[in-house]
Chain A
């Protein structure tokens, strides 16, 4: 079973602060990395699918980078807002068709 780790486990930031968190995954046999935003009582919502080493993707104030050689991805949120409060989940896919999820980073943005 492959290990995907996310850090920190939880994070509290003030509104307006920028923040980032990490997803670590095996550097071999990489196929894709998915980032999701998961609000309580809702289903995970896809943010990004990243496939190439050096990929950078952006959606509004949220962006992500990918380093497949060293096995990590960063998710950045610029100018956090209370509505950004959620769990951010990453999932690694290898060349099989299985997905391996991290435990998530729980973000709370304090107004």
Chain B
């Protein structure tokens, strides 16, 4: 069964460094999402992406975040200058259609900022 994959599973970085989190969505899906969960808190929506552009972003997704689909299979989340409070589990998800369609989540990347 097709699945969403994410790499790396765990990323440790120093504050102020740039990180890129990678996701490979399910191949025939058109909508892509990033979420995060800070330990002990709710899952939070970051951004949705369709047709090679951002379709919606939350207040969390400020100028230090960016997303890209560089090659038609990967979907990346870049954090330009990491802060301690960026430490979280980051999940990628994809769906065939828009928000009323089933979303399939990847296993997540645990980001630790020291």
Q: Which residues of A come within 8 Å of B, CB atoms?
A: 1, 31-32, 34, 36, 42-46, 49, 51, 89, 91, 93, 96-103
Contacts of B91 in A (CB 8 A): 43-44
Query: For chain B, which range describes its interface: under 10, 10 to 19, 20 to 34, or 35 or more residues?
Result: 20 to 34
Contact between chains at A100 and B100 (CB < 8 Å): no
Contact between chains at B56 and A98 (CB < 8 Å): yes
- Known contacts A89-B43, A97-B48; decide if A51 and B105 are in contact (CB<8 Å): no
21 A-B pairs with C-beta separation under 8 A: A31-B100, A34-B102, A42-B107, A43-B4, A43-B91, A43-B106, A43-B107, A44-B43, A46-B102, A46-B104, A46-B105, A49-B100, A97-B48, A97-B98, A98-B45, A99-B35, A100-B45, A101-B35, A101-B42, A101-B43, A101-B44
Main secondary structure of the interface of B (DSSP, over half): loop
B70 is an interface residue with CB less than 8 A from chain A: no
Q: Which residues of B come within 8 Å of A, CB atoms?
A: 4, 33, 35, 42-45, 48, 55-56, 58-59, 91, 98-108
Residue of A nearest to B6 (CB): A43
Residue of A nearest to B105 (CB): A43
